[in-house]
A and B are shown apart, each in its own frame.
Chain A
Amino acid sequence: MRYFLRMTTTINDIMRKKLETIEGTSSVQQAAKKMKDRNVSSLLIVDEKGNPQGIVSERDLATKVCLNDKNASAVTNQEIMSSPLITISSSSSPAEAADLMLQHNVRHLLVVNNENKHKPVGIVTPLDFTKYQQYTEDKGKDTIEKILEYYV
């Protein structure tokens, strides 16, 4: 029985559990420093109460900051973050995540606790789909292929 239970891959298996946050009012320079120090590729942007507002990824920093001749200490995370935040339950399948990404045209999904939808537990990106191959036998294979084609 354990064998069969384990054969179903969920978002919980492939998501990044290292969830680093930073306030929306702090600078993108601080965000870049945090990403570098904590070795993560995205940060969850929160308000002063800790509520999730958006996501800032390496790509946001690489493309939205360097192209405008502004000092990174003068740009806030709120200005460049991707929002609204699209969330997915940790018990969902990788194919459902891929579907959501395509539907909303985003590369990052905030993973929330299955029981408590307000509790962020991780982040999932298209790159994470390469972690497991077992679900390639699922019917969601086409969607995952598509997401790898366009988003990674």
Chain B
Amino acid sequence: MSALHCSRILDQKECLVTNIQVMSSSSNNMSLESISVSSIMITDVKTAGENQSIQAACNILYKNKIGSVVIIKNSTSENNENKVPVGIVTERDIVRLVSLPDNKRLVHEPVHLLMRSPLIIINPNSSIVEAMQTMQQKDIRRLPVVDNKEKLLGIVTDKDIFRLILKNQSLLASSATSDQMLVDQQSIYGKFTDYWLRGIPTTP
């Protein structure tokens, strides 16, 4: 989308012109602020109990060809009820483990020792823009969606947001309704692009 792209590539003047053109050609009223996280989240989240082994978590990544597994509180139940998420383990965390000398022993340790915690979460009623802001500020790519009772409802990733924007290119433009908004929006999307450009964040 040009609003995002030109903020990096073109100079200020050209950028403004492009933005205004995009704005005036837009006709629908949907915006990234009006779409809730719950409408794009993936509900089939792969989870592992905090006391399961790291190897079991690796197996979940392998079987499902995914990059992360959400760790839930003391539970091995397979249904989505009562799942309270406490952390997340990504491929990068496993790489950290593989780099250690006694990795063979460590894979049998409980996964809560490796997981990243506290978990950064988002409310299902939050907007896509809020999700983008949180991802950018916290330097992460995945946000588990959790309700007020701490129950895991789904997960939203930067890929899902990108796919949404790819399919509905008017979203970026239509969310800018005034000059002030335009500036604010641009800084968010600009930062989000920066974050994408830097790639996957480092494990602390």
Query: What would 6 A/B residue contacts be, using CB atoms closer than 8 Å?
Result: A3-B14, A61-B95, A61-B98, A72-B98, A145-B166, A149-B163
A149 to B1, CA, bound (A): 19
Residues A131 and B193 in contact, CB atoms below 8 Å apart:
yes
What 13 additional pairs, Cβ within 8 angstroms, besides A6-B9, A71-B104, A152-B159? A36-B96, A58-B92, A61-B98, A62-B91, A62-B95, A63-B61, A72-B103, A127-B199, A130-B196, A131-B193, A133-B4, A134-B1, A148-B166
Supposing A66-B98, A137-B169 touch, asked if A130 and B104 sit within 8 A by C-beta, the answer is: no
The B interface is mostly helix, strand or loop, or mixed, namely helix
Name the 8 nearest CB pairs between A and B, nearest first.
Answer: A32-B99, A62-B94, A32-B98, A134-B5, A63-B62, A66-B58, A58-B91, A33-B99
On chain B, the residues within 8 Å of A45 by CB distance are: none
Supposing A36-B96, A61-B95, A127-B199 touch, asked if A67 and B58 sit within 8 A by C-beta, the answer is: yes
Residues of B within 8 A of A (CB): 1-2, 4-5, 9-10, 14, 54-55, 58-59, 61-62, 67, 91-92, 94-99, 101, 103-104, 107, 158-159, 162-163, 165-167, 169, 193, 196-197, 199-200, 202-203
Residues A29 and B1 in contact, CB atoms below 8 Å apart:
no
Residues B101 and A32 in contact, CB atoms below 8 Å apart:
no
On chain B, the residues within 8 Å of A69 by CB distance are: 104, 107
A126 to B79, CA, bound (A): 31
The A interface is mostly helix, strand or loop, or mixed, namely helix
On chain A, the residues within 8 Å of B92 by CB distance are: 41, 58
Residues A73 and B101 in contact, CB atoms below 8 Å apart:
yes
Residues A67 and B200 in contact, CB atoms below 8 Å apart:
no
**Contact for B167 among A35, A36, A145, CB less than 8 A:** A145
The verdict on A104 contacting chain B, using a C-beta distance below 8 Å, is: no
Residues A61 and B94 in contact, CB atoms below 8 Å apart:
yes
Size of the A side of the interface (Cβ < 8 Å), in residues, is: 40
> How distant is A132 from chain B, measured CB to nearest CB, in Å?
6
Residues of A within 8 A of B (CB): 3, 6-7, 16, 28-29, 32-33, 35-36, 39, 41, 58-59, 61-63, 65-67, 69-73, 127, 129-134, 136-137, 141, 144-145, 148-149, 152
**Contact for A63 among B2, B58, B199, CB less than 8 A:** B58
On chain A, the residues within 8 Å of B95 by CB distance are: 32, 35-36, 58, 61-62
On chain B, the residues within 8 Å of A127 by CB distance are: 159, 199-200
Residues B103 and A71 in contact, CB atoms below 8 Å apart:
yes
> How distant is A143 from chain B, measured CB to nearest CB, in Å?
11
A5 to B77, CA, bound (A): 56
Residues A144 and B98 in contact, CB atoms below 8 Å apart:
no
Residues B166 and A59 in contact, CB atoms below 8 Å apart:
no
> How distant is B34 from chain A, measured CB to nearest CB, in Å?
20
A71 to B100, CA, bound (A): 10
Residues A65 and B1 in contact, CB atoms below 8 Å apart:
no
Residues A136 and B58 in contact, CB atoms below 8 Å apart:
no
Residues A67 and B99 in contact, CB atoms below 8 Å apart:
no
A28 to B62, CA, bound (A): 17
Residues B67 and A59 in contact, CB atoms below 8 Å apart:
yes
On chain B, the residues within 8 Å of A129 by CB distance are: 162
